[in-house]
Structure 1
Amino acid sequence: MVMVKTDFVNSLFDIKNKVAIVTGATGNLGKAASWGYGYAGAKVMLTGRSEDKLKKLHEEMKDKGIDCDYIVGDPVKEEDVKNVIEETVKKYGGIDILLCTAGMNNPKPILEQPKEEWQAIMDANVLGTWLYCKYAGQVMKDQGRGGKVILVSSARGKLGMKGYTAYSPSKAGIDLMAKSLACEWGEYGINVNAIGPTVFRSELTEWMFEDDTARTKFLTRLPIGRLGEPEDYVGVCIFLASAASNFCTGTTIYVDGGYLAG
């Protein structure tokens, strides 16, 4: 007979006092996750390239009693990444959660896209994630208490699209990075998974929410019948950061309103 204890169930999603690094923290999804982790009791290190945006978010979260700090850093610059990791360990004593939301896209037909632009997208989405995994993973391994690494993929990592010869391959790469690191780090108790969102409300996508024609066309692929809001992203971030996902590694969870189902 299997019996699940109440204390076990109650602790499944508990991330109180866990130390979380959120890259790309001032983007809409990064910001939502940062608030989610903070309200759940985690200590949150915010990082990204814009000091003004980081400072504003940091002040807003501190005003709500959240234990957080921020470090400016470019995720594709190795020295910046190392500094974020070192300063986080210095302030909070370790790292339990790494959420890599930093990334970019600039859709353009391959015949019109310069190699440098393609490379910038690949660097932002793949290299930056790889660098954070490398240095945060070392800390998690040395701590001896495991950790949770969460990468951000996309539904577009599964599907092609006009103008996406940089973005879609970069996100497919994130899916396989999660699988490969899961194989490397399983023995150390480090879980590595990815989140695959579809279109969520942001500064870049607000036009789709306001354009009836574009929104209606996109909604024909969404069984849930609406576009994603940043709040829809928080639950899976907490799940993958908590004990509830201890037997889940090397997979991509799609938060896409059913986009890939049809």
Structure 2
Amino acid sequence: MIALPQTPSFRLDGRRALVTGAGRGLGLAIAAALAEAGAFVTLVARTEIEIAAAAAALTARGDQAESLTLDVGDSAAVAAALAARPAYDILVNNAGTNRPKPIGEVTAEDYRAVMDLNVEAAFRLTQSVTGRLRAEGKGGTIISISSQMGHVGAVNRALYCASKHAIEGMTKALAVELGPYGIRVNSIAPTFFETPLTRPYFDDPVFKASVLSKIKLGRLGQLEDIMGAVVFLASDAAAMITGTSLLVDGGWTAE
């Protein structure tokens, strides 16, 4: 009888995952997906009420989850928090912000707010998690939530695009550097998703029509659209995937 190959597991049982910006929107969906796949998930955000409620909902469902109130922009606090916990096998850098403005209106404070959270916080957290993995001789996977704007440009988004292109560059460089240690590094680049952060933008019918005209599937992303992508990249099913960006953009960047 022919010996057939077996599909690698999408399960994450026995693994520990850290998800930033996990109180709502994409972050909450990502945390829920990883927990449902069997991972023990630490939900991180600055707002304690949101992540505590989210973690409680996951544990009530039978998942393994905890909340960690933390400002990921505070590198000293991040280092202390991680040092007090076992190593994480999975890190999802999801926390981020956007301040869309014409280039002439972008202030120094805008620049610091976007770059500090979107780039430096992700860099420092990745540095801490991967440093621990290397010290313990463990492999792992880093997933940064980038954007389709990390692959293209757009009006009023020079600052945001700069931050997400930086994430894409960091992903490739770290994949090269950390591959020999068994640590995979990838990004997920979503299109416009309907979340609490983006919903006010779509109150403008002209803006919404413009966005939908570029998404070839003709609709906004929903939270469920990112859940499978994260579980896939975190699992053994993606064991040979590193240094890449998984575009969840409905075809925006296809032309």
Distance 2:188 2:101 in 1: 24
Matched pairs, number: 254
| Alignment pair present for 1:24 and 2:21 | yes
| Alignment pair present for 1:176 and 2:169 | yes
CA displacement at 1:171 relative to structure 2: 0.2
Aligned residue for 2:214? 221
CA displacement at 1:3 relative to structure 2: 5.3
| Alignment pair present for 1:187 and 2:184 | no
Aligned residue for 1:244? 237
Aligned residue for 2:149? 156
- Counterpart AA for 2:168: D
Aligned residue for 1:101? 94
CA displacement at 1:213 relative to structure 2: 4.0
CA displacement at 1:258 relative to structure 2: 0.7
Aligned residue for 2:39? 42
Aligned residue for 1:59? 56
Distance 2:186 2:97 in 1: 20
Aligned residue for 1:117? 110
- Counterpart AA for 1:243: D
CA displacement at 1:145 relative to structure 2: 2.8
| Alignment pair present for 1:5 and 2:5 | yes
Q: Give ranges in structure 1 of 5+ residues lacking alignment.
A: none
Percent identity, aligned pairs only, is: 35
* Two-structure CA RMSD over aligned residues (Å): 1.6
Per-residue deviation, residues 28-61 of structure 1 (Å, max 9, x unmatched): 1110010001111110011111111111111111
Look up the SS of the partner of 1:69 in the other structure.
strand
Distance 2:162 2:153 in 1: 9
The TM-score with structure 2 as length reference comes to 0.94
Aligned equivalent of 1:145, options 135, 138, 141? 138
| Alignment pair present for 1:201 and 2:194 | yes
- Counterpart AA for 2:240: F
CA displacement at 1:216 relative to structure 2: 2.8
- Counterpart AA for 1:206: R
Specify whether residues 211 and 190 from structure 1 end up closer, same or farther in structure 2 by C-alpha distance, changes over 3 A only.
Answer: same
- Counterpart AA for 1:38: A
Aligned residue for 1:86? 83
Q: Give ranges in structure 2 of 5+ residues lacking alignment.
A: none
CA displacement at 1:165 relative to structure 2: 2.0
Contact 2:24/2:50 (CA < 8 Å) preserved in 1?
A: no
More off after superposition, 52-61 vs 157-166: 157-166
- Counterpart AA for 2:138: R
Distance 1:121 1:157 in 2: 14
Per-residue deviation, residues 62-94 of structure 1 (Å, max 9, x unmatched): 1111111111111111112113322331xxxx3
Distance 2:4 2:73 in 1: 44
Contact 1:23/1:47 (CA < 8 Å) preserved in 2?
A: yes
Specify whether residues 243 and 62 from structure 1 end up closer, same or farther in structure 2 by C-alpha distance, changes over 3 A only.
Answer: same
Per-residue deviation, residues 177-234 of structure 1 (Å, max 9, x unmatched): 0011111100000000001011001112224555544333322211211110010000
